[in-house]
Amino acid sequence: MDMNRARFVTALKPGRTDNNYRSASRNSLFRLETLEPRILLSADPLLGGTLQDLLLKNLQDTSAQDLHPAIQEMLQDNSTYWQKDNSITAKTVASPASPAIDVSNILSLDPLNPVCTVAGDTAGAAVGIIASNLQVTPGSGSSGESLTLTPTDLNGAIVIGSDVNQTGRSGGVLYVSNSDIANIQDGVSQVVIGEINGSYSVQIGAADAVAAPVTFSDNLVINAPSFGGEVYIYDTLQTTGDSSLTIHGSGHTTHIVNSAVISASFITLDDSVIVEGTASITASGYIQIGASADHSLNGDGNSLNKDKLTLNAINSNISVLGRVGNADPLEGLYIVGDLGIDGLLGTSDDVAGAVNVAFNSEVAVDGNLIINATNVTFDNTVAVSGDFIVKATGVVTFKKAVNLSGGGNLKISGATQIIFEDSVTVAGGRDIFLEGNEVDFKTGTTSVNGTGKLTIRPADKAVNIEIADPAVPTNCLNLTLLEVQSIADTFAGGVTIGWQDATTLHTTAGTAGTVRIGAATGDLGTPTFWNKTAIFGSSITVKDYVVSTNTLMSYNDLRLDAIGDIAIENQILLWNGTIYHDLTLYSASGTISQVNSGVDTSEPIYAKNLTATASTGIALGWVDVNTVDVQKPSAAIYS
Same domain, 444 and 489: no
At 427, which amino acid appears? A
Q: Are residues 544 and 583 located together in one domain of the fold?
A: yes
End-to-end CA distance of the chain: give it in Å, rounded. 87
Structural domain contains residue 34: no
Same domain, residue pair 482 and 399: no
Residue 510 is part of which domain span? 460-639
Cα gap 349→475, rounded to integer Å: 27
Model pTM score: 0.81
- What local confidence, expressed as pLDDT, does residue 4 receive? 34
**How does strand 30-35 pair with strand 38-43?**
antiparallel
Q: Both 437 and 495 in a single domain?
A: no
Q: What is the pLDDT of residue 55?
A: 43
Helix (H), strand (E), coil (C) string for 231-291: EEECCCEEECCCCCEEEEECCCCEEEECCEEEECCCEEEECCEEEECEEEEEECCCEEECC
Amino acid identity of residue 253, one-letter, is T
- For residues 424 and 532, state if they share a domain: no
Long-range contacts of 336-344 (CB under 8 A, 24+ apart): 336/310, 336/312, 336/370, 336/371, 336/372, 337/312, 337/372
Residue 588 falls inside a structural domain: yes
**525 and 582, same domain (yes or no):** yes
Amino acid identity of residue 618, one-letter, is: I
Q: Is residue 536 part of a domain?
A: yes
The last residue of a domain, from among 386, 420, 451 = 451
Q: What are phi and psi of 57, to 5 degrees?
A: -100, -10
Instruction: Look at the chain and report how many structural domains it folds into.
Output: 2
Q: Which of 423, 451, 479 is the last residue of a domain?
A: 451
Residues 543 and 410 in one domain: no
Backbone angles phi, psi at 563, to 5 degrees: -75, -45
Residue 628 is assigned to a structural domain of this protein: yes
Strand, coil or helix: what is 68?
coil
Same domain, 476 and 436: no
Instruction: Look at residues 421, 451, 481 and tell me which one is the last residue of a structural domain.
Output: 451
Nearest alpha-carbon partner for 485 in 468, 464, 469: 468
DSSP string, 22-60: PPPPTT-SEEEEEETTEEEEEE-TTHHHHHHHHHHH-TT
Residue ranges of the chain whose pLDDT lies below 70: 1-144, 546, 598-599, 635-639
Is 555 within a domain?
yes
The reply to whether 161 falls in a domain is no
In a domain, 600, yes or no: yes
Cβ proximity of 261 and 245 under 8 Å? yes
* 437 and 464 co-located in one domain: no
- Together in a domain, 336 and 438: yes
Q: What angle do CA 111, 113, 116 make, to 5 degrees?
A: 115
Indicate if 365 and 509 belong to the same structural domain. Answer: no
Tell me what pLDDT residue 194 has.
Answer: 95
Tell me what pLDDT residue 91 has: 36
Domain membership of residue 192 (yes or no) is: no
Give the pLDDT score at 633.
80
Helix, strand or coil, per DSSP, at residue 404: strand
Residues 420 and 521 in one domain: no
